[in-house]
Amino acid sequence: MMLKKLIFVAMMLTLVTSVALAEDPAWNEGGGEQDEALGLTPNLENAIEVYEVCAACHLLEGWGTKDGTFPQLAGQPASVAIKQLADIRALNRDNPTMYPFALEQSIGGAQSVADVAAYIEKLPMNPDNGKGEWAEGTPEFAKGEKLYKDNCVQCHGDHGQGDPVKFYPLIMGQHYNYMLRQFEWIRDGKRRNANPDMIKQIAEFSDDDMKAVINYVSRIPVPKELLAPSTEWRNPDYD
């Protein structure tokens, strides 16, 4: 009887530890599929086939939707896309809508992750992303600019270009409503794979602070060479 009790306790401790690890994953320990995909040479021919699954939500151009329901993927560094895909597949980032489409049986293994991430990176960005309501010259824009320069530049760069080596995403050109939602989730502890440094940095942001800084980010000009020639551009790989 005592042996059965000990086995039961050991099983419960293992279960609790597993749940705790799933609920509080390290920000970026690496390993597993993330490292495997980062070490592979992308096959862009396969990527075109794989990305067609993603296009159901993110569109063939990778532009997502201006209302922020789906983010713009185009132009995102491959390393960032690999990390986020690997996190979703490993259940380190909650995304119930995307999860079925990200599974190995839907798009393939680590090679497909590497392929589609490289493909996303080379797509030209939407020249008309969803923006906040306050244009340059308004007090709210100025407030957002100051908040960004005081809190965000170190990681996301002076123009929102991110840092592919450290897996900090490119945020310039991203849709306002999508960024607002993610910022709020990170601030309020609802995004499990968020960088703990960012959580601390923005912990005291009010809702008005949050809207102002995201408004500013949504209006950072994207370099012309990263943009599609017009909003009428269509991905020629799917002609």
User: What confidence tens digit (pLDDT) does each residue in 119-153 have?
Assistant: 999 999 999 999 999 999 999 999 999 999 999 99
User: What confidence tens digit (pLDDT) does each residue in 181-214 have?
Assistant: 999 999 999 999 999 999 999 999 999 999 999 9
Q: According to the model, what pLDDT value does residue 51 have? A: 98
Q: What is the 3-state secondary structure (H, E, C) of 25-40?
A: CCCCCCCHHHHHHHCC
User: Does residue 220 share a domain with residue 159?
Assistant: yes
Within a domain: residue 1? no
Q: List CB contacts of 121: < 8 A, sequence separation 6 or more.
A: 75, 76, 77, 78, 81
Q: What is the 3-state secondary structure (H, E, C) of 34-86?
A: HHHHHCCCCCHHHHHHHHHHHHHHHCCCCCCCCCCCCCCCCCCCHHHHHHHHH
Give the whole-angstrom CA distance, residue 176 versus residue 215: 6
Q: According to the model, what pLDDT value does residue 26 have? A: 60
User: Does residue 37 share a domain with residue 115?
Assistant: yes
Give the whole-angstrom CA distance, residue 75 versus residue 201: 26
CATH of the domain at 107: 1.10.760.10
Asked whether residue 17 carries a pLDDT value surpassing 60, the answer given is no
End-of-domain residue from the set 81, 102, 127: 127
Give how many domains the chain has, as a whole number: 2
Within a domain: residue 7? no
Within 10 angstroms of residue 87's Cβ, the number of other Cβ atoms is: 20
User: Does residue 91 share a domain with residue 67?
Assistant: yes
Mean of the per-residue pLDDT values of the chain: 90
Q: According to the model, what pLDDT value does residue 31 have? A: 82
Asked whether residue 24 carries a pLDDT value surpassing 90, the answer given is no
Cα torsion 108, 114, 120, 123: sign:
negative
